[in-house]
Amino acid sequence: MEFGAVFPHNEIGTDPGAIKAYAQGVEALGATHLLIYDHVLGADPNRAGGWKGAYDKDVAFHEPFTTFAFVAAVTEKLEMITTVLILPQRQTVLVAKQAAQVALLSNNRFRLGIGTGWNEIEYEALNETFTNRGKRQAEQVELMRRLWREDTLTYRGDYHTISGASINPRPSRPIPIWFGGSAPKLLERCGQLGDGWIPLMGANDAARQCVDTLRRSREAAGLSFEGFGIQAQAQYSGGNPDRWASHAAKWRDIGATHLAIATHNAGPTDVDGHLARIQEYLSAVNA
């Protein structure tokens, strides 16, 4: 199982020097991958009708593709994964173009983690439909993969039309697509279409049941489970070396291939503080 880190989106700030120091520090510590969360905009709690959610307009989220393009330029080995990009609220062809560029600039160190999201306000602002997002996600994955490998294509889907065109440049190898979420239909799509799964839950019986569902889904589709990835997360906040090691062992037993530590929401700190937390975690799980 590989260990990585979660980009502290709301605490890292906007200083490019600090973001560079963080990315290079994560790599120097031996973490193999970096996760970044995705939200395009946040709601104002004082808006008409009010707002209650996991975040609002005062929580910062760095845009994943441009941030990872920057990270790719200042690192050499660190793998990057969106966890998760809310794909159906975006234009599919544009995402294919952006993902291809990050893959090229990083020498194929990019995984595209995707989800369907839950914030209808974002969909409204981005002029995309919220209610059919799951169905569109499946078609988006099919179309992106064709755009990444075909010099030209004509495509007529339920939600997309391309008439003899494609993107250029294209990635030199397929971009892995990992699905985040645990709804039954999502797990079915993930098993049939995905290269990996991003559980948004703890290392528990529910996660184990999801893995079993994924195995059955892939088997039904005639696909091997070997090489299929599972990207879990851990929290620094509220933990200690014994708890982190125990938690990692549980995820390893469930079948996780990757586990990233989130160091934010654990009290005020700076870049060096986040890196120290990562080092403390890695020392515990690698002991």
Cβ-proximal residues to 180 (8 Å cutoff; 6+ apart), any chain: 83, 84, 113, 114, 115, 197, 198, 199, 200
The per-residue pLDDT for 287 is: 83
Are 52 and 119 a contacting pair, CB within 8 Å?
A: no
pLDDT tens digit string along 74-95? 999 999 999 999 999 999 999 9
pLDDT tens digit string along 200-254? 999 999 999 999 999 999 999 999 999 999 999 999 999 999 999 999 999 999 9
- Number of neighbours of residue 126 by Cβ within 10 angstroms: 14
Distance CA 81, CA 71 (A): 12
Distance CA 166, CA 97 (A): 9
pLDDT tens digit string along 260-273? 999 999 999 999 99
Q: Are strands 85-86 and 110-115 parallel, antiparallel or unpaired?
A: parallel
pLDDT tens digit string along 118-173? 999 999 999 999 999 999 999 999 999 999 999 999 999 999 999 999 999 999 99
pLDDT at residue 184 tops 90: yes
- If one compares 131 and 53, the residue with the highest pLDDT of the two is 131
Q: Average per-residue pLDDT in the chain?
A: 97
The per-residue pLDDT for 132 is: 96
Distance CA 142, CA 93 (A): 11
Q: Are strands 196-198 and 110-115 parallel, antiparallel or unpaired?
A: unpaired
The structure tokens listed for 74 are 């200042």
Distance CA 69, CA 250 (A): 33
CATH architecture of 2-285: Alpha-Beta Barrel (3.20)
The per-residue pLDDT for 49 is: 86
pLDDT at residue 37 tops 90: yes
Q: Are strands 177-180 and 79-82 parallel, antiparallel or unpaired?
A: unpaired
Distance CA 239, CA 244 (A): 6
- The DSSP annotation for 213-251 comes to HHHHHHHHTT---TT-EEEEEEESTT--HHHHHHHHHHH
What backbone torsions phi and psi does residue 86 show, to the nearest 5 degrees?
-80, 90
Nearest to 78 by CA among 102, 94, 60: 102
Q: How confident is the model at residue 182 (pLDDT cuts 50, 70, 90)?
A: very high
Residue with tokens 């120091």: 21
pLDDT tens digit string along 96-113? 999 999 999 999 999 999
The structure tokens listed for 152 are 């030209």
Q: What residue segments make up the domains of the chain, in order of their start? A: 2-285
Are 231 and 83 a contacting pair, CB within 8 Å?
A: yes
